[in-house]
Amino acid sequence: MGKSISIVIKPVSAIEAVSTPCLVIPVFGEEKSTSLSSKCAKQLNSVCNGAVLALLKRGDITNSVDSMLLLPTVDQIKADRVLLVGCGTGKNLSEADFKKIVDKLVKQLKATKVKEATLLIDELSVKGRDKAWMIEQLSIKAGLIAYNYTETLSKPKPDTVLKKLTLGMNSSKALLTAAKQGQSIASGMNVARELGNLPGNICTPTYLANQAKALSRKHASLSTSIVEEKKMRELGMGSLLSVTAGTDQPAKLIVMNYQGTSKTVKPHALVGKGITFDSGGISLKPGAGMDEMKYDMCGAASVFGAINAIAELKLSINVVAVIAAAENMPSSNATKPGDVVTSMSGQTIEVLNTDAEGRLVLCDAISYAERFKPQSIIDIATLTGACVVALGKHASALYSNEDDFAETLLSASQEVGDKAWHMPLWDEYQAQLNTNFADMANIGGAGGGSVTAACFLSRFAKNMRWAHLDVAGTAWDSGANKGATGRPVALLTKYLINQSS
């Protein structure tokens, strides 16, 4: 589930002597130029008696970042095949162009079905980024192609053959660290993708609890405990329990503790929304597209992925993960619109819409996480369709009760390329949650739906350094490429890497 691809960094001698199933050579130069600026492309051209330059002049390969050409055999060298990759100018590439190049080349390597490949990309540079950043991005992209969903397929596609990438450059501690971090981020994203893609009849709250226990058995630094519904009642978690009232599947509050440093160091907390299927409850969703509500636990899945990543990296940090796992179904026992419930914090909530259930489980999970006295707390949830309307699929919505905390998370998101956007959390929006019959309503009307959802959660995090990530637009893709994306595992992991000692 948490697969990754091995990354090796070592210098390469003469091109003709490199023995590899596939040798990746960048081709770059001035725009629309038919001359070679890449040293390794020049070397290959020399060895092959001008063949590369001839291909360039003929237009079979160009300097464009959209260009790529696979040479199945090249007699003059030891490599079995050569992949020529257009890399623009090669120097001071934009982050977007570099990612496009990497994405295309790893997909081509997958399609070529080679077990190993050697990449000569040392000449490339990205504006404002160092080689470590480039290697981390490459490691992430390569690791993501290792994932292949098979669980419910009678005839699954074969696993990716590619197992190892060798980067032809001088090694250093910084580069090795970057490769390892990229591998672990990809591994964590693949964990999240697998959990998200599983159907709701398999990935139940109990299944998630068992996966947390299995993860703890895998890593000595992890311990897991499960709060059952009986204990939830004793703790006064009436808000969380109101969501699970209509289903036969018992809710689980999953608590994973990662200890990477002294117990005296306060942990960072991650809180994940784990609605394993969301029918909307009595406020039933439209039937079209309801199958995608298996992805309503992708916030929880991203927490699993981040915990897996930091455990692999053995970070010197303490982290507590709290996952509110429940199923939202309609029945004679289900919570009704207009019902009033009491949260663990003692605040009462009028449930005006049972399809606004994510905030109802999260508020009690946030209150529970407070007992660990965390340095910071981040909740992650596929919370609102309004977030998708506002930001589409490219950026997660970021809210925080401390602007400097939001900036820290934004910096991590930009560093790793898992984009987020800082949204407003102004007092003016809080009034939309007013009701005559409880301390607050669980919805705030048609306007600013993602904002009022964050405002709701902020009322339960007043004493904490808190942030909220609404990932309804980024956690999965629809259409022909339907599937969980693994976001925002990279953002969360990079934040925790930056916080570790």
Indicate the residue type of 65: V
> Which residue out of 273, 359, 465, 494 is catalytically annotated?
359
Task: Specify the length of the chain in residues.
Answer: 501
Give the full edge-to-edge strand order of the sheet including 222-227.
Answer: 222-227, 252-259, 318-328, 268-278, 376-381, 466-470, 396-400, 420-422
For residue 477, give both structure tokens. Answer: 């893709």
Q: Say if residues 159 and 111 touch (Cβ distance below 8 Å).
A: no
Q: Beta-carbon neighbour count of residue 187 at 10 Å?
A: 27
Segment 336-339 long-range contacts (CB within 8 Å, at least 24 positions apart): 336/282, 337/282, 337/283, 339/242
**Residues facing 275 on adjacent strands:** 326
Task: Phi first, then psi: give them for residue 338, nearest 5 degrees.
Answer: 100, -15
Which of 412, 362, 406, 410 shows the shortest CA–CA distance to 384? 362
Question: Is 10 noted as a catalytic residue in this protein?
Answer: no
- Angle (CA) 20-111-196 rounded to 5° is 120
For residue 220, give both structure tokens. Answer: 């000595």
Residue 262: Cβ-neighbour burial (10 angstroms; 0-12, 13-18, 19+):
exposed
How far is residue 450 from each of residues 61, 69, 283, 299, 454, measured CA to CA in Å? 46, 45, 18, 15, 6
In angstroms, how far is CA 375 from the centroid of its own chain?
22
Q: How far apart are CA 85 and CA 74, in angstroms?
A: 16
Q: How many CA atoms lie within 13 A of 93 on its CB side?
A: 28
Which residues fall within 8 angstroms of residue 301, CB to CB, at 6 or more apart? 191, 192, 193, 195, 196, 272, 274, 475, 484
> Which residue out of 39, 104, 285, 393 is catalytically annotated?
285
Pairing of strands 252-259, 222-227: antiparallel
Residue 301: Cβ-neighbour burial (10 angstroms; 0-12, 13-18, 19+):
buried
Q: Which residue has the tokens 């590439």?
A: 93
Q: Which residue has the tokens 């529970």?
A: 368
Question: Is 263 noted as a catalytic residue in this protein?
Answer: no
Q: Beta-carbon neighbour count of residue 291 at 10 Å?
A: 12
For residue 108, give both structure tokens. Answer: 């081509």
- Gyration radius of the chain's alpha carbons: 25
Q: Which residues are catalytic?
A: 285, 359
